A and B are shown apart, each in its own frame.
Chain A
Amino acid sequence: MKKLTQRIDKERLLLGIAAPLLAIVAAIVVTTLVILATGKNPGAAFSDMLTYGTASDSQVYILNKATTYYLAGVAVAIGFRMNLFNIGVDGQYRIAAFFAAVLGGALTTPGWLSIILIILCAMATGAVWAGIAGVLKVTRGVSEVISTIMLNAIATAIIAYLLQPGKLAELQSGGTVVSTKPLAKDAYFFQIDTGAAGELWGFIFIAVAVGVAYWFVLGRTRFGFDLRTVGQSESAAAASGVSVKKMIATSMLISGAIAGLIGMPTLLNDSHQFSNDFPTGIGFTGIAIALLGRNNPIGIALGALLWGFLERTTNHLEFQGYDKEILGVIQGVIVLCVVIAYEVVRRYGLKRQQQRVGAELAAQAAAPTQKQEVA
């Protein structure tokens, strides 16, 4: 009996890895075809990606990018575990980063305190922004998909309005960039100097801590169990004593708070101010990464690294005479394949397990009756 359980587990693991692998292989095949169609050599492109992508300065770049992406992936994954589709991560992190930057520019507190205050401000802003969608869903039944999309647009408008000289922003000395007041030097987050390869952002440690917390809270606590229960079956959750509405609102708040962290690596380690060229669209990247990583803390990390790698290397391809749109093609194909592969593998796995359990029990049941007949 134990053997069967083990076998099922091994099989489940294999199936779990099969899906993303399948997706990536499919993506490589499609990309090859696309490059061939443009009349270029795909082999050279892939080898360039590999050599350039593994160079030490690329490694640091990828890790820095992945820090941001990882936080985005986790923020989205929290919603996914609840069966909530928080498309609004994008607006949440932008408005959170903006207000955190405004606060940071105004602070005159000691550096360590400023950093804590800035991060808390970002998390609170993100939580409030997501909370609006949560409250709407719980009280009025508004789909979180619709409300968060709209909140994204509202966030864009609010930032555009406030990010003007004379409002909450100022014109920088160059005369072309409008930004919030830059942070004081002592409010910069620490970095690790890796020499010629560049600076590794210290925020990566916060990202790791978030990942560990995500794993621990979901898998090891009562709260996490309740959250997963609601995600798997709202009716069973309600019957088991979970207040579904409260859970929806709470998880939206948490998702938003984590979303608030997304802009922090950039703000505290890199730009030190919120300007009109602050990175956008990372919330959507987070959706892709959460899908790719199957909402698993390690899976999301791998997805984030892959995304960083693709971005770094395809940028370089452009200099080699390839079209830069190749990035979009690869990313799009991966996400599509992943979604399809997971669903196929999930259904196959469930069915296969049912068959196996059935077969095993039938064998068990048959054994004693045969003996009886003999006797």
Chain B
Amino acid sequence: MFNVETIRKDFPILSRKVNGKPLVYFDNAATSQTPQQVIDVIVDYYSNYNANIHRGVHSLSQEATDKYEQARQKIQNHFNAKHAHEIIFTSGTTHGINLVANGFSSLLKKDDEIIVSALEHHSNIVPWQMLCERSGATLKVIPMNQEGELVMTEYDKLLSKNTKLVFVNHISNALGTINPIEYIIEKAHQVGAAVLIDGAQSCPHIKPDVQALDVDFYVASAHKMCGPTGEGMLYGKESWLKKLPPYQGGGEMIAEVTFEKTTYADLPHKFEAGTPNICGGIAFGAAIDYMNAIDFDAIAKYEHELLEYATKQLSQIDGLKFYGTSKHKTSVISFNLEGIHPYDVGTILDKLGIAVRTGHHCAQPIMDYYKIPGTVRASFAFYNTKEEIDIFVSGVKKAKMMLS
């Protein structure tokens, strides 16, 4: 049974104070907090079996390797990948995107086209621009509408036999819009294009099934789903991962090395050069266990209640404007107070112990679309409460009073 009070006890940080006030943490879309269960795994790793993996013959190395590979299997099961070696450990979503973008450099030629969306985070724009510069391919953009949704009829028009890759986020980080990725994937495949879905914002809320989606690549970050920072995963279909060249050279990713020629290791190690974030990978697995034990359906249902409650409360404030009003949204609220800079609102909220994000959220094209410098973004997680939303709403009212 989902019980937020019990859940909150798992998160030591939620009982601390900020600026003398109890912390209200609404910056979950940037980084989620870490439960004791995951912290314990990190402490256990460094206290009991910290060692380099895969090549050691000694017991500690074997233990660490087993735990690391178990974590890979946990991630495989969670995303329902066909094979464990289709899961590549990365330092996070950005790393995964760059790995794929780099791999496609040698596969693309002039006249090829890449499609991204207007709702992308900079990390899902810049690597593709760089890829276009290297390969001579052209970048096309699926436009958005006033509600913060992608315009699918325009997407249909962009697709052609020249389309080689489509990159879209599952959920927009700035607005919370859930994009119709099933449709996007199906349409892209009809013209023979590969699809990468950026799942950084979706994985904290829903459990994607990569086989059911038939997606070619899916990337996520551990630190947005109760895991540590600097850790993430790339799922790639086996056929694609075999086709892509390695991203970085180094130890771990080789089969044989001579000065004449090096042969690369099999998947997944081909893409995992150097000593990885071993503890991070193991803790990522523990975070996935933790969230699954709470249950993603229960998480989604509860977070939706928080979203509806907060939206209702905030909409009673005069001069407050929401950005991103799609019916298909996760628990992210982006807004501005009329005539007030989001930075000012964020500063006052911080003094009240309330953590929100302000600015362009690394999604400047969206801000340009709305012709605003940025927004205030409150993003809720399953450990937040309606009482915290009440504190936040009165904080926004106070900010409005002080700043008007």
A and B part of one assembly: no
